[in-house]
Amino acid sequence: MKISEIPYKRLSLDEIKLRFDETNLLFDNAKNSDEQLSAYEKFIGVMKNFATCESLAYVRFTLNTEDKFYDDEREYYDQTSPIVQEFYTNFTVKMLNSPFCEDLKKVLSPLLFLNYEINKKSFDSCIIEDIQEENRLTSEYTKLLASAQIPFNGETLNIPQLGKYKESNDREVRKAAFNAHGHFMAENCLGFDEIFDKLVKVRDKMAKKMGYKNFVELGYYRMGRNCYEPTDIAKFREQVLNDWLPVVRKLKEKQAKILGIDKIMLYDDTICLKNGNPEPIGDVEQIFANGKKMYSEMSPDTKKFIEMMLEHDLFDVLAKKGKTGGGYCTSLPDYKFPFIFANFNGTYGDIDVLTHEAGHAFADFVSGEIENYELRTPGMETAEIHSMSMEFFAWKYMELFFGEKADEYRYMHLCNSVSFIPYGIMVDYFQQLVYEKPDMTPIERKDLWKNLEGKFRPYMSSEGIEYIENGGRWQYQSHIYERPFYYIDYCLAQTVSLFFFAQMQEDYEKSFENYLDLVKKGGTKTFVELVREAGFVLPFENGALKNAAESVEGFLNSMKTDGI
């Protein structure tokens, strides 16, 4: 069955409540742990069914935000999902309070019950209406971004389609593309400011209703952090500034010399090579044919994965009017299908979809072998290891996509991976400071962003780029609106992916086996346990970034490309 052929039917709230009521009754009347486990299996069935319906509606909404039917369905789930979350929390509290709790832990895993404890701290029925409002606002932001129709180069483009001009070899074209994007943001400035201001206020209100000082602590619980604290992230942030940023600064100085410019501007940031970044060979059909070849050769597991993805048409990658920007991977658990959403624009980013998002989809595919559905998906910092590490394991096959320019891609990819970490940590720190002071004005938030840019990306300027030079760059980052405190996951995972990168230079096959072992464990272990079992130090341990920075810097200095 193709994903387009999957029938969609709204799962009504009445039906969901009835099924949960039946499950609760079975659980309450159970005379032993086996009977409670039977009730638990029914509970999981309801959750999987709801997740599938919600995910399918979301996919079809993001494919065309102008489709009123799926726009209405998205609105329905925005309203319904907090109520389902209440049902879920109530059931898991029953699990925690069960007289057979210890027996249940032995069968299902103590980690699952730790996650239930964290979930209990992240939700209360008193904030249901606030979550509904939060969902409505994030959907409003998504639709506002997707509404962009930007005149450029004789065309009318949405934001993803403009991306190819932001990667142009011509510096003036890049600058013009960034300004065109900025013009759209400026025209809609009041909308972006108002949406975010309301999001900050409603999240702060939720936190205070639940007894927290501000949203920061609640935000961590909502992300399911089960093995590290904000203090660990503070240590990581200091290491980024002290041990990682100096390497990035030297890298950017080298980049400026390669490009023949005095200073790196924002529109130069991702252009690492003299003749511009390499573009993939061939059209979409050829890229997917080469993607099939890559994964078929990589391992038996990846071969099965890519054949399944192509058989069921589990990709939508062409940018088009009404489609939201960015890319994601989601899951349809009733069908055991991952799905990849992207916006191809003729740049190297198209290949990144076949590595990064496919890394997520591959993890979803292999974790289906884990018996307990709730332990198939790890925390997002682990999930991003799956995707970011796959980007590096795919290096071996880049000749398929870039031909004689494969080494240029490798150099560019590593440069951008190294440069990402200060940006990612800045996004996370920005959110922390914003939620610690929820009464900031829109201007104060933009001033804060400008100050952080000067601290975390001092090697770069946004001067002359409309809207961005006034501190509005953060409004391009959808995670800040939609998934607060997600971005640190990318930073932690990027660090671990670079550990894998160093390891694969010594022994690719052994490193890939290590990667497969981590991926196949899904969410059965915490991030800390998985990283240590892989033989690596934790990113926030003292000296972790210093050692990694030295290793990566040495490798970058040894690389030779025709574009340098």
Q: Is residue 562's pLDDT more than 80?
A: no
Structure-token pair, residue 468: 């961005």
Tens digits of residue pLDDT in 53-107: 999 999 999 999 999 999 999 999 999 999 999 999 999 999 999 999 999 999 9
Q: H or E segment at 311?
A: helix 300-311
Tens of pLDDT, residue by residue over 519-537, are 999 999 999 999 999 999 9
Q: Is the pLDDT of residue 564 over 60?
A: no
Higher pLDDT, 276 or 122: 122
Query: What region, left, alpha or beta, does residue 465 occupy, with left being phi > 0 and alpha being psi -120 to 50 degrees?
Result: beta
Confidence of residue 559 (pLDDT cuts 50, 70, 90): confident
**Token pair listed for 391:** 């980007």
Q: What DSSP assignment string belongs to 384-431?
A: HHHHHHHHHHGGGGTHHHHGGGHHHHHHHHHHHHHHHHHHHHHHHHHH
In this predicted structure, what is the pLDDT of residue 551? 86
Per DSSP bridges, beta strands 460-461 and 264-265 are: parallel
> Can you give the pLDDT at residue 561?
58
pLDDT, tens digit, for every residue of 10-52?
Answer: 999 999 999 999 999 999 999 999 999 999 999 999 999 999 9
Average pLDDT over every residue of 148-175: 93
Q: Look up tokens 């080494």; give the residue.
A: 407
CA-based end-to-end distance of the chain: 48
The whole-number pLDDT of residue 168 equals 93
- The pLDDT value recorded for residue 563 is 54
At 550 the pLDDT is: 87
Average of pLDDT values for 124-152?
95
The one-letter code for the residue type at 277 is N
C-beta separation of 146 from 158 below 8 A: yes
Average pLDDT, the chain: 95
Query: What mean pLDDT comes out for the span 478-493?
Result: 96
Mean pLDDT of 375-402: 97
What's the confidence (pLDDT) of residue 556?
Answer: 87
Query: How much is the pLDDT for 557?
Result: 84
Task: Please check the confidence at residue 342 and state whether its pLDDT lies above 60.
Answer: yes
Percent of the chain whose pLDDT exceeds 70: 99
User: Cα-flanking dihedrals φ and ψ of residue 337, to 5°?
Assistant: -110, 125
Q: What is the mean pLDDT of residues 116-134?
A: 97
pLDDT grade for 267, boundaries at 50, 70 and 90: very high
Residue 225 has pLDDT above 80, yes or no: yes
Q: How many CB atoms lie within 10 A of CB 49?
A: 16
Q: Is 460 helix (H, G, I), strand (E, B) or coil?
A: strand
- Please give the radius of gyration of the chain, using alpha carbons only, rounded to the nearest integer: 23
Instruction: Work out the pLDDT band at 345, boundaries 50, 70, 90.
Output: confident
Residue 421 has pLDDT above 60, yes or no: yes
